[in-house]
Amino acid sequence: MISLVLMTPQPYKSTTSTPSKFLFMVYVKILSFLLLSLLVVQVSSCNQFDKDTLLAFSDNLSISSPYLPLNWTNSIDCCSWEGITCDVDLRVINLSLPFRGLNGFISPSITNLTSLTHLNLSNNWLSGNLDNHFFSLLNHLLVLDLSYNHISGELPPFVADNTSRSSGGVIEEVDLSSNLFNGTLPSSLVQYLAAAAEGGSLVSFNVSNNSFTGQIPTSLFCINGHNSSSLRLLDYSYNDFDGTIQPGLGACSKLEKFRAGFNSLSGTIPGDVFYAVSLTEISLPRNNLTGTIGDGIVSLINLTVLELYSNQLIGLIPSDIGNLSNLERLLLHVNNLTGTLPPSLMNCVNLVVLNLRVNNFEGNLSALNFSGLLKLATLDLGNNQFTGMLPPTLYACKSLAAVRLASNQLEGQISPEILGLQSLSFLSISSNNLTNVTGALRILTGLKKLSTLMLSKNFNNEIIPDDEKIIDPDGFRNIQVLGLGGCNFTGQIPGWLLNMKKLEVMDLSYNHISGSIPSWLGTLPQLFYIDLSFNNLTGIFPVELTTLPALTSQKANDEVQRTYLELPVFANANNVSEMQYNQLSSLPPAIYFGNNNLNGSIPVEIGQLKVLHQLTLCNNNFSGNIPDQISKLINLEKLDLSRNQLSGEIPGSLKMLHFLSFFSVAYNHLQGQIPTGGQFDTFSFSSFEGNQQLCGAVIQQSCLSQQNTNSTAPIHGSKKKIIIGLIIVACFGMTAIMTVLTLWILSKRRINPGGDQDKIEMESMSAYSNNSGVHPEVDKEASLVVMFPNKTFGTKDLTIFDILKATENFSPTNIIGCGGFGLVYKATLPNGTILAIKKLSGDLGLMEREFKAEVEALSTAQHENLVALQGYCVHDGYRLLIYNYMEKGSLDYWLHERADVSPQLDWPTRLKIAQGASCGLGYLHQICEPHIVHRDIKSSNILLNEKFEARVADFGLSRLILPYHTHVTTELVGTLGYIPPEYGQAWVATLRGDVYSFGVVLLELLTGRRPVDVCKPKMARELVGWVQQMRNEGKQEQVFDTILRGKGFEEEMLKVLDVACMCVNYNPFKRPSIKEVVDLLQNVGSTNQQRNKE
């Protein structure tokens, strides 16, 4: 109890009058009353039951940010706590804690706040499921907002509490958007909310951006015939709802916004929706809606937004669409709409965005009167069949900032009147029939804000102007993207490009431009994308281009302004369907000079272009060696040097390009051994074909046999005679030996009833020898296959001949895998047994005795989650390893190659694979003696049996290829996307490095994405960085594979995501051990099993 002593002021003795004393006493009493009021406030406290409930609620939470503490323990009065409001009875009526970084789950105790009317926990990190009784809060809640969290699972049912119903209010707003909820909406909840809507209280219901399924319950919210619904917002967008939109919306007379886009809705748009006359927004994009738009839509005169894009709508735009005078956004693109644009469309004078691209509209575009659309800012009519000239009335639309009329049948010239569009920054008229490129460029220089200009595939066979007097040198100062490809231009690369100091993307491909590449291109400070392919250019590769600032300095490249484009652009003039870019940051830093007549050598200075991602020099006449300096292009993803006159060897240093995913030197004059290791172990035969002097496993050409051929020298003089004599003697000797062998074979035939079996074996041996350079006279003991105990597969004395027949002489048709240590072949034995034979490649530097010792040591690694080594064969320089054949192939195949992954690779299966693979890796790290560092954990090295049980493959193979010294190597180990960051600093493979790689595999299982995807935007190409960024932004639920969402496993996936992110920690010492990983994953599994039991 708090006490307060009030000191009553003593009367002041004076000779003042009696009225003055009276006033003084009044003052004392007022002061005493105020102090007593303060005492009451201090003594009073909130309801103890509510306080205990709030403390129980906070016990399940943590704050992710140290700068946002709740400080609920600083005061005994919970009514004064942050986010809490009480009523006059000191009961909690408002709990509001948005944007507080709250982690944890919502405690079931919150339902004890029986006076609560407002609950707002939006924009936090809350997870877990809602308690089964959570919606009992709706018996007294007015506002419920749980949006932008990570709450998962199905929504619990609603149970009415009739005892509290009379004293409580009715729900007005429900917002469950942007969570991980799944399943169908509970009928009891929907019916209660529908009753609230009919009763005049429910105003807003938002469940967007979740994984809800089933049919959207529109008709329940809008009871036909009553028109009493108070509902104003109904948002079902970004879910997995399917089925049709049921009739009933028309009864929602007050409904203003109806959103159900990005679902799988089918059927037609119900006609009664046009009776909901208060509608201002209809948003149904990215569904499977069919039928027509419906003429009734013109009755919705309050409509400001109509989004029906990316459906399968057919028919015409309603002829009276102009009745929608309040319409601001009309998005009907990517449908099958036909006919001409109704003239009344031009009466929609408030239009700001009009997008009708990718339909089948036709008609004379210049016949339409656009002059009344004074607010129009974005117009996209591309990919239709419009004819006529550029509409002259369009130039009256002074607010236009982006215009795209590409891929139509427009003709004529660009008029000077276009200069009235001084706000225009984006203009694309590609793929039409425009003429007079000189006049067009001269006029367009007057649009000072123009930043994107796409005129590709026009002006057929004209001369590209090169006179700076024709093109205003002050024009195009702000151009960032210039597309003039596919026009069949003649002439030379124009000098006025030198004035475009902000130019970032330049496309002059698919023309007939001649002359040399000007050296001054190297002075453009922001140029990072150059496409001059498919022209008639001659001369050399200008060394000045190797100093392009945006391609030599990452800092300079980062400073290049990569803005979002107002509308998509298509960077390659002849590939518009696949090269669409919506933002400049998506375009890779690239140089495309292919298919010209360039000559000379590739400058060694090219190694300065360290920011370059793609380099294409194919189909030219470049000669000389491939510069070793290309290995300095550390970000290179594509290198195409095919069909030139290059000679010499392929630099071994190129294997250090760890992001290289496409490589071709085909059809040159290269020689020597193809490098191995790094990305070179992933390139196929087509990357090297057409080079007769190259050798290596990938092209099935033995370097040993080639060396023997190359070492043969001409013989002259007396030495020639001596050698001829020796040859004659040798022939007689060989004849004698063959005679003896023939007699011996005939004698064996009389004894052995094997028939022609020996003949078959000899033919197989000969075929093998011809393909591999192995001499046919082989010691039979050296050809035996060593099978380890109890692993004979019912086959006795397996030989190299058996393997040759089982693999059809190692036919390419039997290749089932290609990894860093060689090719893997499927071998089918006569008794039906199927084996996997790995033919090792690389530097087989171990002596035979050492090799056999290492192999037999590896054979002791036996675990149910390992692909156990069953045997081996050392055969005249070739070394074969024999494994069990895994029926389902690799995890990589199931995640990234198959189209029908959904039904078989569900979340329980993926979790089982993760758990099994971790156990296999754990055995290698902790139990196997000596401990084995795998060095190349990746999804293609995790194989699956017929039950989708994981088996880790290719472990310990580095010991067979290189001398084994605590795993220290002279090259970066691993595979692109899986390589730990520390391997680039210290070339030592470690246990923690394996954990990093395994973390990447976990991310693959969760996201369904490859570790590196060059087709993704720059910021999303590397899986680890993208996931970490999304997680930091609180969007981790958006990284999950779409086929996994909405199946009720979100909580488990979030736990595995946490494990994966621990594994890929940049600091290796903060990563868990594999034992900890195994335990964490098993705990996820035990939770799942417990759920199934319940």
How far apart are alpha carbons 1087 and 1083 in whole angstroms? 6
Alpha-helix residue ranges (DSSP H) falling in 479-610 = 549-552, 554-559
Tell me the pLDDT band of 555, cut-offs 50, 70 and 90.
confident
How far apart are alpha carbons 1045 and 257 in whole angstroms? 26
Is-contact 288 297, C-beta < 8 A?
no
Q: What architecture is the 891-1093 domain classified under in CATH?
A: Orthogonal Bundle (1.10)
Lowest-confidence pick of 961-965, 1031-1035, 1084-1088: 961-965
pLDDT at 973 over 60: no
Tell me the pLDDT band of 784, cut-offs 50, 70 and 90.
low
pLDDT at 57 over 80: yes
Tell me the pLDDT band of 626, cut-offs 50, 70 and 90.
very high
Residue 521's contacts (CB-CB under 8 Å, 6 or more residues apart) are 493, 497, 527, 530, 542, 544, 545, 548
Tell me the pLDDT band of 561, cut-offs 50, 70 and 90.
low
Of residues 567 and 665, more confidently modeled: 665
How far apart are alpha carbons 666 and 791 in whole angstroms? 43
User: For 505-709, CATH number?
Assistant: 3.80.10.10
Q: What pLDDT does residue 159 have?
A: 82
Instruction: Give residue-wise pLDDT tens across range 106-145.
Output: 999 999 999 999 999 998 889 999 999 999 998 899 999 9
Of residues 590 and 932, more confidently modeled: 590
At CA 190, angle to CA 187 and CA 196, rounded to 5?
145
Task: Please compute the mean of the pLDDT values over residues 217-245 and round it to a whole number.
Answer: 80
Q: What pLDDT does residue 916 have?
A: 94
Lowest-confidence pick of 16-20, 207-211, 569-573, 764-768: 764-768
Instruction: Give residue-wise pLDDT tens across range 905-960.
Output: 889 999 999 999 999 999 888 887 767 788 788 888 899 988 899 998 877 655 54
Identify the active-site residue in 50, 936, 954, 994.
936
How far apart are alpha carbons 845 and 858 in whole angstroms? 18
Q: What pLDDT does residue 998 have?
A: 95
Place of tokens 């996820």: 1084
Write down how long the chain is: 1094
Q: Distances in Å between the alpha carbon of 606 and those of 822, 891, 1018, 1070?
A: 32, 38, 22, 39
DSSP state of 80: G
Query: 55: part of which helix (H) or strand (E)?
Result: helix 48-59
Tokens for 847?
Answer: 């002596």
Tell me the pLDDT band of 512, cut-offs 50, 70 and 90.
very high
Residue type, 640: D
How far apart are alpha carbons 931 and 994 in whole angstroms? 12
Tell me the pLDDT band of 680, cut-offs 50, 70 and 90.
confident
How far apart are alpha carbons 610 and 631 in whole angstroms? 10
Beta bridge partners of 481: 452, 505
Lowest-confidence pick of 793-807, 945-959, 1000-1014: 793-807
Q: Distances in Å between the alpha carbon of 621 and those of 643, 650, 654, 987?
A: 8, 17, 22, 39
Q: What pLDDT does residue 1070 have?
A: 83
Q: What pLDDT does residue 682 have?
A: 76
Tokens for 770?
Answer: 């011809």
User: For 757-884, CATH number?
Assistant: 3.30.200.20
Tokens for 220?
Answer: 């329940």
List of E strands, 649-801:
662-664, 669-673, 693-695, 786-787
Task: Please compute the mean of the pLDDT values over residues 1028-1052 and round it to a whole number.
Answer: 84
Highest mean pLDDT among 79-83, 762-766, 829-833: 79-83
Q: What pLDDT does residue 808 have?
A: 82
Tell me the pLDDT band of 594, cut-offs 50, 70 and 90.
very high
Task: Please compute the mean of the pLDDT values over residues 625-641 and round it to a whole number.
Answer: 93
Instruction: Give residue-wise pLDDT tens across range 255-308.
Output: 999 999 999 999 999 988 988 999 999 999 999 999 999 999 999 999 999 999
Q: What pLDDT does residue 88 have?
A: 92
Is-contact 272 247, C-beta < 8 A?
yes
Fold classification of 46-146+155-169 (topology level) = 3.80.10
Of residues 792 and 258, more confidently modeled: 258
Residue 530's contacts (CB-CB under 8 Å, 6 or more residues apart) are 506, 521, 545, 590, 591, 592, 593
Is-contact 420 560, C-beta < 8 A?
no
Is-contact 646 619, C-beta < 8 A?
no
Q: What pLDDT does residue 889 have?
A: 85
Verdict on whether the full-model pTM lies above 0.75: no
Tell me the pLDDT band of 886, cut-offs 50, 70 and 90.
confident
How far apart are alpha carbons 755 and 504 in whole angstroms? 75
Q: Distances in Å between the alpha carbon of 813 and those of 15, 760, 879?
A: 122, 21, 20
Of residues 609 and 821, more confidently modeled: 609
* Listed residue (428, 483, 434, 495) closest to 461, CA to CA: 434
Tell me the pLDDT band of 757, cut-offs 50, 70 and 90.
very low
According to the annotation, is 839 in a ligand binding site? yes
Domain boundaries, the chain: 1-43, 46-146+155-169, 505-709, 757-884, 891-1093
Q: Do domains 46-146+155-169 and 757-884 have the same CATH topology?
A: no
Lowest-confidence pick of 217-231, 461-475, 868-882, 1028-1042: 217-231
Q: What pLDDT does residue 537 have?
A: 98
Q: What pLDDT does residue 365 have?
A: 95
235 is catalytic: no
DSSP state of 209: S
Is-contact 143 120, C-beta < 8 A?
yes
For the chain, the average pLDDT equals 80
How far apart are alpha carbons 96 and 253 in whole angstroms? 32
Backbone φ, ψ for residue 1039 (5° rounding):
-85, -15
Is-contact 657 679, C-beta < 8 A?
yes
Residue 1035's contacts (CB-CB under 8 Å, 6 or more residues apart) are none
Counting residues of the chain whose pLDDT is more than 70, the rounded percentage is 75
Q: What pLDDT does residue 935 have?
A: 79
pLDDT at 53 over 60: yes
Task: Please compute the mean of the pLDDT values over residues 438-449 and round it to a whole number.
Answer: 93
